[in-house]
């Protein structure tokens, strides 16, 4: 049986959901890491879309992070990410859907509004893991790629302002919701926590996130992080990463 194959951006919240689910369950898998911009030509002919993550396994192709996680949960049930209680499971899946659809996109617009201004640092974060020659070429091409990203994602000052509000509300929610048990649903780690932490990781850049962000960071990056550093929601995100992110199960193709 062939291992699962995951197409991903390394530095992106939705592929992080898929990676985390595979790693959490100890599933050896192959990762195909692409660069934002050039990725479209690689994915569109093969899969008919340029969004990631995309998971291929045993003839199945899953094309959204929620679909990927659901497949992983069914194919590799232990340890479970879905609560066994039906009511709690429904609540966890609702939180996943909310963070995927309502929090992630505006947060992306807000964070990239500040981060994309620095060409070399941002380009090298997106190209992390690529050969040095490839990183240098990507830095040179990044101004054009940045313009495409801004257009595709609707990155603007107005969008960034809305994203700041949504991000603050999401951090408020996880701080409040986890106050009793430490988790968003019930008393154990679930898909709700995985999704919320993966989406919100950009507010605090947990050390366990698989792409390093070395200091000194550019002003745009640091300004963004300083805005959230004392928020209790970031304490939740950092703790969830620290306690549950675990080791990578990536294998070579």
Would the pLDDT of 28 be above 90?
A: yes
pLDDT, tens digit, for every residue of 128-159?
Answer: 888 999 999 999 999 999 999 999 999 999 99
pLDDT in tens, 82-136: 999 999 999 999 999 999 999 999 999 999 999 999 999 999 998 988 899 999 9
* pLDDT value at residue 103: 98
Q: What is the mean pLDDT of residues 188-210?
A: 97
User: Residue 35: CB partners within 8 Å, gap ≥ 6?
Assistant: 9, 126, 127, 130, 134, 138
- Report the distance separating Cα 129 and Cα 125, nearest Å: 9
Give me the pLDDT at residue 214, please.
Answer: 82
- Render pLDDT for 204-244 as a digit per residue (tens, 0 to 9): 999 999 988 888 899 999 999 999 999 999 999 999 999 99
Domains of the chain (ranges plus CATH)?
5-81 (3.40.30.10), 86-244 (1.20.1050.10)
216: how many CB neighbours lie within 10 A of its CB? Answer: 8
What percentage of residues in the chain have a pLDDT greater than 70? 100
Q: Which helix (H) or strand (E) holds 210?
A: none
Q: Which of 18-22, 45-49, 153-157, 210-214 has the highest mean pLDDT?
A: 18-22
**175 alpha carbon, distance to own chain's centre:** 19
Report the alpha-carbon angle 53-54-57, nearest 5.
135
DSSP labels, 131-152: -HHHHHHHHHHHHHHHHHHHHH
Kindly report the number of other CB atoms within 10 A of residue 141's CB atom: 14
Q: Is the pLDDT of residue 1 over 80?
A: no
């Amino acid at each position: 049986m062939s291992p699962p194959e995951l197409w991903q951006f390394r530095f992106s919240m939705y592929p992080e959901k898929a990676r985390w689910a595979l790693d959490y369950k100890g599933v050896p898998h192959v990762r195909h890491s692409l660069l934002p911009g050039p990725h479209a030509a690689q994915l569109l002919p093969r899969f008919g879309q340029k969004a990631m993550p995309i998971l291929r396994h045993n003839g199945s192709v899953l094309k959204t992070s929620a679909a990927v996680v659901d497949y992983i949960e069914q194919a590799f049930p232990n340890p479970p990410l879905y609560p066994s209680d039906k009511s709690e499971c429904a609540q966890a899946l609702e939180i996943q859907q909310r963070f995927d659809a309502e929090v992630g996109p505006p947060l992306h617009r807000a964070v990239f509004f500040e981060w994309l201004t620095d060409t070399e640092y941002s380009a090298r974060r997106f190209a992390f893991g690529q050969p040095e020659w490839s990183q240098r070429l990507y830095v040179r091409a990044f101004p054009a790629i940045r313009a495409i990203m801004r257009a595709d994602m609707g990155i603007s000052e107005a969008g960034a302002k809305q994203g700041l509000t949504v991000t603050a509300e999401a951090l408020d929610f996880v701080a409040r919701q986890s106050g009793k048990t430490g988790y968003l649903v019930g008393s154990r780690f679930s898909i709700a926590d995985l999704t919320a932490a993966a989406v919100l990781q950009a507010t605090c850049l947990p050390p366990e996130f698989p792409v390093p962000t070395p200091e000194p960071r550019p002003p745009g990056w640091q300004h963004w992080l300083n805005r959230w550093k004392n928020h209790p929601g970031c304490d939740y995100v950092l703790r969830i990463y620290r306690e549950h992110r675990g080791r990578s199960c990536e294998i070579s193709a």
